[in-house]
């Protein structure tokens, strides 16, 4: 079972709202009964208790969940709904299903809507446990050259990977996980919600991240914190400035950072201020977690640890030959953590998998003791900003739809807070658009976190003889 816990134990807490495991079963039971037999359902994934109830209900009934980013732009929403073809959408009652700057696409407007009610008088689900190979989630991940692809994650992958993390982090039902991550991707949803529920522990979600709220929880019942480098960068500065806050964070059993590399300077600052050494891990939507530093292991900055139990990892050269020694190569993985494939994209699935191995596109080297160090992407068009992996091509296409843009290229550059910030390189048309206008344009079509933070204006983009933009020649 993906959900386990004692009836009287608090399972989920969002601010003043909470549900015990017994209450969660009662609330989710009638929703699960209403969903049973559906092909798949969309969940409007706001960071709320109701989102978690909807996820639990669908998992209980064995119906695949399509978590939808509530800040997604109109084009992204239309693509996800059209591609995944959910039977209905679950959302909090009376909630407007569109971001403030986005137009509700007809594909979403046409869906039957089921309100997520918190009815404590309901009957827990009595159905059979679904097949481990059945899809549990369809999570959309941005590609570098086209629209997001739907990743089919089976229950087998979720269960095995969460159990592997429990083993390396000594994660038990006594733990209370604290985080403020979004609930529409792997980090915040699968690790951050299903993770504690599978252990029989608790999740305390902060809603919005602040160092003060995280420290208060960790000084109390909280034992673990999940975050992205942007959060830890802010936490480092705040802990340096406030000894009481640093003491609260120092009371945690485990601090875990993921979704992008945590700079060594932030590792050092957090350790100096709190006495804590942050644990890093490495994963992808298609594979869940591949590597992780053990709770009892060497927490060295710049390393994501060895492979987690059950996962095989190798480095290969340009021709696919396995590499040995401390040589940089592309990471390939295989194991029970792998996805089933990309929804409606057999071509992309075939390109990503061979002989049971998944080609990650990430380049790394391996220390003599098996620790993996990520050194970058094989492709140059993936930007990691604020914990998100963002495809440059998708933003370029959106920019090119603006009437003031003749040519566009997008790159990432280092940012102390975000990890990387999105930079747009624009050849203007007749009327030069402002940077703010372009940022709003991208946010309205895609999502706010995909907007360019910096805009440079050029007379022409550098290109090779084949017409391809030479991004390495672009610099501020």
Q: Can you give the pLDDT at residue 324?
A: 83
* Assigned domain for 51 exists: no
Instruction: Assess if residue 55 is contained within a domain.
Output: no
Mean pLDDT for the stretch of residues 111-133:
92
Number of structural domains found in the chain: 1
First to last CA, the chain: 52
* 313 within a domain of the structure (yes/no): no
- The Cα–Cα gap between 201 and 466 comes to 56
Looking at the DSSP bridge assignments, the partners of residue 332 are 314, 359
Answer with the residue of higher pLDDT: 45 or 75: 45
CATH value at residue 434: 3.30.300.30
The answer to which of 139-148, 181-190, 313-322, 369-378 has the lowest mean pLDDT is: 139-148
Q: What is the pLDDT of residue 142?
A: 67
| pLDDT(466) > 50 | no
Q: Are 469 and 409 in contact (CB under 8 A)?
A: yes
Residue 18 lies in a domain: no
| Residue 433 in this model has a pLDDT that exceeds 70 | yes
Residue 309 has a pLDDT of 98
Instruction: Kindly report the average pLDDT of the chain as a whole number.
Output: 91
Structure-block tokens of residue 137:
């989630």
- DSSP state letter for 469: B
Q: Which residues contact 131 (CB under 8 A, 6 or more apart)?
A: 62, 155
Tens-place pLDDT, residues 340-383: 999 999 999 999 999 999 999 988 889 999 999 887 667 666 78
Q: Which of 250, 253, 280 is nearest to 187 (CA)?
A: 280
Q: Categorize the per-residue pLDDT at 476 as very low, low, confident or very high, splitting at 50, 70 and 90.
A: low
Q: For residue 187, tell me if it sits in a domain.
A: no
pTM, rounded to two decimals = 0.85
pLDDT over threshold 80, residue 429: yes
Residue 232 lies in a domain: no
DSSP per-residue codes, 235-258: HHHHHHH-HHHHHHHHT-SEEEE-
Question: 152-177: buried (b, 16+ CB within 10 Å) or exposed (e) per residue?
Answer: bbbbbbbbbbbbbbbebbebeeebbb
User: What pLDDT, in 10s, does the model give residues 124-164?
Assistant: 998 888 999 999 999 998 655 578 999 999 999 999 999 99
Torsion of CA 107, 188, 182, 74, to 10 degrees: -20
Residue 235 covered by a domain:
no
| Of 139, 133, 138, 140, the residue nearest 155 (C-alpha) | 133
Handedness of CA 297, 300, 301, 304 (dihedral sign): negative
Can you give the residue range of the structural domain that contains 426?
382-473
Distance of CA 323 to the CA centre of its chain: 29
Q: Answer yes or no: is 408 within a domain.
A: yes
Got the DSSP string for 307-335?
BPTT-EEEEE-TTS-B--SS--EEEEEES
Is 307 a residue whose pLDDT tops 50? yes
- Examine the pLDDT at 250 and tell me if it is beyond 50: yes
Four-point Cα dihedral 388, 393, 397, 400, nearest 10: 110
Partnered with residue 41 across adjacent β-strands are: 65
* Residue 254 in this model has a pLDDT that exceeds 80: yes
């Amino acid at each position: 079972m993906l959900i386990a816990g004692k009836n009287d134990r608090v399972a989920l807490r969002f601010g003043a709202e909470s549900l015990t495991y017994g209450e969660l079963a009662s609330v989710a039971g009638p929703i699960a009964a209403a969903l049973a037999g559906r092909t798949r359902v969309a969940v409007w994934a706001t960071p709320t208790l109701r989102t978690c109830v909807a996820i639990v209900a669908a998992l209980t009934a064995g119906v695949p969940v399509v978590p939808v980013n509530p800040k997604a732009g109109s084009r992204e929403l239309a693509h996800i709904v059209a591609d995944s073809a959910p039977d209905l959408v679950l959302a909090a009652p009376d909630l407007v299903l569109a971001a403030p700057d986005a137009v509700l696409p007809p594909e979403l407007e046409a869906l039957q809507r089921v309100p997520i009610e918190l009815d404590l008088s309901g009957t827990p689900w009595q159905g059979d446990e679904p097949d481990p190979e059945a899809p549990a989630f369809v999570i959309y991940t941005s590609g570098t050259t086209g629209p997001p692809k739907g990743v089919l994650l089976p229950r087998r992958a979720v269960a095995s990977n969460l159990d592997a993390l429990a083993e390396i982090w000594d994660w038990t039902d006594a733990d209370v996980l604290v985080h403020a991550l979004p609930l529409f991707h792997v980090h915040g949803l699968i690790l951050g919600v299903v993770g504690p529920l599978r252990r029989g522990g608790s999740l305390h979600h902060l809603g919005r991240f602040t160092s003060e709220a995280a420290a208060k929880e960790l000084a109390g019942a909280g034992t673990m914190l999940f975050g992205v480098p942007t959060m830890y960068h802010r936490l480092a500065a705040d802990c340096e400035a406030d000894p009481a806050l640093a003491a609260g964070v120092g009371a945690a059993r485990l601090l875990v950072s993921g979704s992008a590399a945590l700079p060594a300077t932030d590792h050092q600052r957090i350790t100096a201020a709190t006495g804590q050494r942050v644990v890093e891990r490495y994963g992808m939507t298609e594979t869940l977690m591949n590597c992780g530093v053990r709770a009892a292991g060497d927490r060295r900055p710049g390393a994501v640890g060895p492979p987690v139990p059950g996962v095989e990892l190798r480095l290969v050269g340009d021709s696919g030959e396995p590499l040995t020694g401390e040589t940089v190569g592309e990471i390939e993985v295989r194991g029970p953590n792998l996805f089933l494939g990309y929804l409606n994209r057999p071509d992309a699935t075939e390109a990503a998998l061979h002989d049971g191995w998944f080609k990650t596109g990430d380049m790394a080297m391996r220390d003599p003791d098996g620790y993996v160090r990520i050194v970058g992407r094989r492709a140059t068009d993936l930007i990691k900003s604020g914990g998100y992996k963002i495809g440059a091509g998708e933003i370029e296409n959106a920019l090119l739809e603006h009437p003031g843009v003749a040519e566009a290229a997008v790159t990432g550059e280092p940012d102390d807070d975000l990890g990387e910030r999105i930079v747009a390189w624009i050849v203007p048309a007749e009327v030069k658009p402002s940077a703010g206008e372009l940022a709003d344009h991208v946010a309205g079509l895609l999502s706010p976190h995909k907007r360019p933070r910096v805009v440079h204006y050029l007379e022409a983009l550098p290109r090779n003889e084949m017409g391809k933009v030479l991004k390495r020649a672009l610099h501020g």
